[in-house]
């Protein structure tokens, strides 16, 4: 979606984008670019196909933009997952938003 919006804004001939993802677990010691040195790390391999009559510089720029999409940034950042048990129907989206606001305040 990020690539589509950028290409449309530039009026580039991007006809479509195909993304293939792979997930694996690797030993931290096998990752030269990683800060973590012990244990296992999650690795996500991303293969992007840009469909359309794009120049090499347009393709390169779109790959740079892909590096800055919101999902990519979220996965690279620190992620905290909070889980709780509730009765079915007891928690509403409004309550979840309130809880999130109280946590960030």
Q: What are the pLDDT digits (tens) for 35-90?
A: 777 777 888 889 999 999 999 999 999 999 998 888 888 887 777 788 888 888 76
Phi, psi of 45 (to 5 degrees): -95, 130
Quote the pTM value.
0.64
Distance separating alpha carbons of residues 9 and 61, to the nearest angstrom = 13
Phi, psi of 52 (to 5 degrees): 145, 170
Domains of the chain by start residue, with CATH: 2-104 (3.30.300)
DSSP conformation letters of 58-105: HHHHHHHHHTTSHHHHHHHS----------TT---HHHHHHHHHHHH-
């Amino acid at each position: 979606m990020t690539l589509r919006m950028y290409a449309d804004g530039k009026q580039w001939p991007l006809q479509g984008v195909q993304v293939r993802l792979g997930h694996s677990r690797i030993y931290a010691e096998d990752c030269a670019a990683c800060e973590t040195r012990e244990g296992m790390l999650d690795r996500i391999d991303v293969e992007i196909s840009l469909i359309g009559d794009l120049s090499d510089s347009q393709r390169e720029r779109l790959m740079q933009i892909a590096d800055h999409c919101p999902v990519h940034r979220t996965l690279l950042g620190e992620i905290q997952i909070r889980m709780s048990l509730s009765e079915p129907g007891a928690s509403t989206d409004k309550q979840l938003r309130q809880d999130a606001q109280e946590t960030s305040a």
